[in-house]
Amino acid sequence: MDIVLLRVALSLYSIGLVHSVVTVLSSRYTLFRVSLAAVVAGWICHAAAIALDAGEPVLTPLTDGYASFSYLAALAALGYLIAYARYRIASLSVFVFPVVFLLTFIAYMGRHASTSSVPAAIASGWIYVHLPLIFLGYAALPVSFAGSIMYLMQEHGLKSKHLTGFYRRLPALEVCDDLAYRSLAIGFPLITLGIVSGALWAQAELGTFWGSDLTVVLSLLTWFIYLLLIYSRLINGWRGKRAAYLAIAGFVCVLASFLGAGYFGGFHSFTP
């Protein structure tokens, strides 16, 4: 990680964080344009930091555990910007910007904590397939998570019939639902392919589809949650509150598999 660029990106993201806090407290979007510009600028710095990274960018998450947080943050910001371009929902930023800031902050604080080379056992061409697919798929998840949170808030506001303050700024219920579902519909196939490529990789290197570490278990759990979500929506018309709760549970699993990767050990841990 280019440390200066990352620091600049972090400071720019912090404007996004301030915007979120101000918006929730005052229910006014005074800072939105400024923070949107700041996050765009921050994202450019961030992307440059990743691109300038010594060595091959794709391998970095394996050699530096904290870099994966940086990746996830950059992808979450990208996911938001794409969603914003499509839906023009300002309020989504209130939920995504703090996540972006927090992930970057973790990456920044812990950048020296663990650095190692890729274990020889798993260094192979598969890494160039597995990692990009998984990360791109995960970029859609924070957006889906934020969409679900907004859905639950809006639903609560409509049912309880109190719609003042911040509730007024939330997008329509169907838009939240659509956002949460569509981002998932984009992310899910990528994650599926990512998991399949991981299994094939494990088969090629280790002779088994099933790497026995917790990241794999949590990823599969996440995958099943999202599969259930998409399947029941398509077949049984499951939508609304239950779908939102499931999407939130899925995202918590994603975070757990990321956070836990370093502690659980196994092939996805970043310490030798």
Partner 1 sequence: MRLSLVGLSHKTAPVEVRERLAFEDGDLGDALKSLAGFEGVSEAMILSTCNRVEVLAEGTDEHLIREFLCSYHRVPADSINDYLYGYRNHDVIRHVFRVAASLDSMIVGEPQILGQIKDAFRAAEDAGTTGTHIGSVMKRAFTVAKKVRTETAIARSAVSLSYAAVELARKIFGDLAGKTVMIIGASKMGELAAKHLKRSGVRSVMVTNRTFERAVDVARAFEGAAIPFDRLNDHVDRADIVISSTGAPHFVITRTLAERIIRRRKNRPMFFIDIAVPRDIEPAVNGVDNVFLYDIDDLQQVVDENLGERMTEAARAEEIIDLEVEAFWSRLRSRDVVPTIVDLQQALEVLRLDEIQRYGGDLGALSAEQREALDRLTRSMIRKILHSPISELKEMARRPDSQPHIDLIRKIFNVRDV
Q: Which residues bind partner 1 (CB under 8 A)?
A: 154, 157-159, 161-164, 168, 171-175, 236-242
Return the half-sphere exposure (C-beta side, CA atoms, 13 A cut-off) of residue 245: 4
Smallest distance, partner 1 to C-beta of residue 250, A: 19
Smallest distance, partner 1 to C-beta of residue 114, A: 45
Please give the full DSSP string across 173-217, using - where no structure is assigned.
Answer: HHHHHHHHHHHHHHHHHHHHHHHHHHHHHHHHHHS-S---SHHHH
Smallest distance, partner 1 to C-beta of residue 173, A: 5
Q: What is the largest CA-CA distance in the chain?
A: 60
Distance between CA atoms of 65 and 52, rounded to whole angstroms?
18
Distance between CA atoms of 109 and 112, rounded to whole angstroms?
8
Q: Which is nearer to partner 1, 112 or 156 (CB)?
A: 156
Smallest distance, partner 1 to C-beta of residue 214, A: 34
**In terms of Cα–Cα distance, which of 24, 34, 20, 211 is closest to 101?**
20
Q: Which is nearer to partner 1, 86 or 168 (CB)?
A: 168
Q: Which is nearer to partner 1, 1 or 92 (CB)?
A: 92
Q: Which is nearer to partner 1, 120 or 159 (CB)?
A: 159
- CA 152 to chain centroid, in Å, comes to 19
Q: Which is nearer to partner 1, 7 or 241 (CB)?
A: 241
Smallest distance, partner 1 to C-beta of residue 122, A: 44
